[in-house]
Structure 1
Amino acid sequence: GMMRGKAYTDTASEYWSNLSAIPYEYLYETSVGIRRGMWSVSWFKELLGEAAEEKAKSMGTSVEELLEREARLISPGSEGLITVGEFLAPNNMPYRKAMFIGFDGRHKRAHMYRSILEAIAMTMKMSVDAMCEEQGIKPRQVIVSGGGSNSPLFMQIFADVFGIRSVRNVINNAAGLGAAINVAVGTGAYPDYETAIGKMVRIRDSFEPDLEHREIYEKIINNIYRDIKDYSDPVNKKIYELFG
């Protein structure tokens, strides 16, 4: 998670202060994030194989849209299926691995898909909360960029998990748009960054949180997700000893 700021610090424990393209500003980045977030969605899609491709084709849609339709019918929390989204282990904890915990006969591919999305959002929520608490601020909305923002379900999950409005921009490639803004200011097309941002950044739509869903996700985070690696780490350490 990232946010803008005007003060530099090298003593914060929950975020880094990076130089911003905007003079006298900084870009704060959470010190703990999620690695291979949307990559895991692509991995899961490929895991489903040709059968899913053929079914989606017969319905005149894509596998992503097929999963989206099915997962919308699943209630928040994926009926108890929890994803530990460690698809790329940290350098200092190479034993960490991704896990699905809580399977039973109810769970199908839509549960797995939704659980992956929820894991991404809940991991980001905990990291952003820690950063904002250290700064003594409270966010009003979260902007989701990249491929994940193409999913209305993902946008709604973010709103529900964070308990605030989630928005996506017309151009959801944040890095590409940021580069274009730098060029616009650098070439004098716009006199300053605020003008360029005002002209070039346009919100596509927004998603309001469902308060009942927010309560469910708060219970999952506080009672399950916050401490889940205390239980998954010992098992994964044994797996790592045998298989790396």
Structure 2
Amino acid sequence: MADRLTLGLDFGTESVRALLVDLRGREHASAVAKYQHGQIIETLPGSPKKLPPLYALQHPQDWIDSAARATRRALRTAGAKATDVIGLGVDFTSCTMLPALRDGTPLCLVERFAREPLAWPKLWKHHGAQAQTERINRVARERGENFLARYGGAIGLEWFFPKMLETLEHAPRVFKAAEVWLEAGDWFVWQLVGGDATTLPRSTCQAGYKGMWSADGGYPSEDFLRALHPDFTRVVKDKMPGRLLAPGVSAGGLSVAMAKRLGLREGTPVSAAIIDAHAGVPGAGAAEPGTFVMVLGTSSCHMLNSVEERFVPGVAGIVRDGILPGFVGYETGQAAVGDAFDWLRRLAGQRDLRLLSQQAAALAPGADGVLCLDWLNGCRTPLMDGSLTGAFTGLTLHHTPAHLYRALLEASAFGVRWIVDLLREHGVPVNRFVATGGLPHHNPLVVEVYADVLGAPITVHPCKNGPALGAAILGALAAGAFPSPNAAIRAMATARSASVVKPQRSHRSAYDELYIRYRELASHFSSP
């Protein structure tokens, strides 16, 4: 094979995708392998005992087994040899995390802990640490901890430290036995490259956005951790060894054992991990600062790289080197997007959204008086409150499901506009919009409404596997194939066949007025 290839491994909630691309970004093969155990939400493997509510766990062996199957299948499809692959990148759900021994063995695979739920990896959507999250936020506010400013004033329920503290308080035997706590993405990269726990590669992306770490201040202080729980004081020093690496920096070469499992060459450079949604930034061709990348799916993550570091209230993560080396990465998001649309579809008794979309597209802005508040799964940015609920107002007997759907689309777009306004008001430039993920490709009306509400064109990147492509780009950087992230992204993810959705000028004044009403409705429903 004349073309050198890079491999992107994209770990989702149910499966892993292996994507092989060349250094011009051309896809040679893609393969998906499901996890044998999927999401563990009812019972542990081999146990009849029901798990507590809000638990969501995974089996770590699934990650290795599925990655091996997907990689070998992709190599066969591409007709590629192990020597054709020059680098490997990994993106992973976050915060999915686990306790392990110092040799990397997950604690759940140690026989005496196999029946302990909190010894298993906690999936990102595990919501068992509500009380611990509330305490972390309360104590941090009382102490005036500086790290809160990087997260818009609140730590999230799904993050790293709440889940550790949950284990300490609900399964102290597990907490005591855990020698290493780490993100699943970091664990997988560690398994790929091997080595001692003291040098295990931790991603600045995962640490910065979900682990309360910064390049300037490190992790929270021992004084703060002691204030949370006396036995939590030395958790960073004693149970979080490793070195911090930015995505795209080489974590090491593929070990002999893992090279054999994956069908690749020993020593193949492996990039430090990145959060799955954040991999969509390089995957969407966003090489320059000021590009607002909307990864639109079940929920939405919006990412932006900037040369400016500004602490913006309500923005969930502001991390230097968090997405790409050399930039300050901003993360925002909306908790219900694609799943909210699907909820309305089911409520309306429709098999799919096509008919609703056709009917909604025929309606004028404002959905004939129906206004929606899109907090059907709480509000991420800017209010960081999972307890908030959604609403529809202005309903009459003549309204149809299409009116509700149009109003829900518009509300989702108003939420994005609020986020963009917030960034700009605090000195963070937003110059360009790119949409990626599943929704823009199979639901174009979403992008049309977003463009109208934002009053700006939106580029829809043609790649349907944006995070996997982003991971592959990081693999190329780890291999030294490009002199900079900018060069790699321009070569491998330039959207040569991208479509651009332009706003309809005739809709601007109507949406400006509706946006004001949306903000008034949000103020009413978020007031105590």
- TM norm structure 1: 0.80
Q: Which runs of 5+ in 2 are unaligned?
A: 1-301
1:130 alignment partner in structure 2 = 422
CA contact (8 A) 2:417 2:454 kept: yes
The code of the aligned residue for 2:334 comes to: I
Q: Deviations over 1:127-147 (max 9, x none)?
A: 11110221163x343112222
Contact 2:456/2:503 (8 A) holds in 1: yes
Secondary structure, aligned partner of 2:426: helix
Residue among 468, 476, 483 paired with 1:184: 476
Match of 2:334 among 26, 34, 37: 34
The equivalent residue for 1:208 is 502
For 2:345, what is the secondary structure of its paired residue?
helix
Larger gyration radius, structure 1 or structure 2 = 2
| Equivalent AA in structure 1 for residue 329 of structure 2 | L
Corresponding residue of 1:219: 513
Structure 1 residues 23 and 154, CA, compared in 2 at 3 Å: closer, same or farther? Answer: same
The counterpart of 1:141, out of the listed 418, 432, 443, is 432
**What is the aligned length?**
219
Distance in 2 (CA, whole Å) between partners of 1:220 and 1:184 is 45
Higher helix share: 1
Written as runs of structure 1 = structure 2, the 5 A alignment for 1:38-187 is: 38-49=338-349, 52-53=350-351, 63-89=352-378, 93=385, 95-135=387-427, 137=429, 139-150=430-441, 151-187=443-479
Q: Is the 8 A contact 1:122 1:161 kept in 2?
A: yes
Question: Residue 103 of structure 1: SS of its match in structure 2?
Answer: coil
Q: Secondary structure of the equivalent of 2:329?
A: strand
Relative distance call for 1:44 and 1:89 in structure 2 (3 A) is: same
SS in 1 for 2:309: coil
- Structure 2 letter corresponding to 1:76: P
Residue 148 of structure 2 aligns with which residue? Answer: none
Match of 2:307 in 1: 6
The 8 Å contact of residues 325 and 485 in structure 2, kept in 1 or not, is answered as: no
Distance 2:479 2:346 in 1: 43
SS at match of 2:498: strand
Report the RMSD for the aligned CA atoms in angstroms. 2.3
Specify whether residues 12 and 21 from structure 1 end up closer, same or farther in structure 2 by C-alpha distance, changes over 3 A only.
closer
Identity between Structure 1 and Structure 2 (%):
26
Query: Aligned partners of 1:93 and 1:13: how far apart in 2?
Result: 13
- Whether contact under 8 Å (1:149, 1:172) holds in the other structure is no
Distance 1:23 1:206, change over 3 A: same
Between Structure 1 and Structure 2, the one with more strand by share is 2
* Separation in 2, partners of 1:7, 1:129: 16
Q: What is the alpha-carbon distance in structure 2 between the residues aligned to residue 197 and residue 45 of structure 1?
A: 37
What is the CA-CA distance between 1:174 and the residue it aligns to? 3.6
Residue by residue over 1:150-177, the C-alpha shift from the partner in whole angstroms, topping out at 9 and shown as x without a partner, is 2221111111100110111011444333
Question: Given the superposition, is the C-alpha separation of residues 4 and 65 from structure 1 closer, same or farther in structure 2, using an over 3 Å criterion?
Answer: same
Flag structure 1 segments of 5+ consecutive residues without an equivalent.
54-62, 238-244
- Residues 21-67 of structure 1 deviation map (CA, whole Å, 9 limit, x = unaligned): 4222121124xx42122210121122233xx33xxxxxxxxx22222
SS in 1 for 2:395: coil
- Counterpart CA distance in 2 for 1:100 and 1:176 is 37
Return closer, same or farther for 1:171/1:74 CA change in 2, 3 Å cut-off.
same
CA 1:45–1:89 in 2, change beyond 3 Å: closer, same or farther? same
Say if 1:84 and 1:98, in contact at 8 Å, map to a contact too: yes
Q: 1:195-236 deviations in whole A, cap 9, x for unaligned?
A: 2211222152011111121111110112x11110343357xx
CA distance in structure 2 between the partners assigned to 1:136 and 1:232 by the alignment: 28
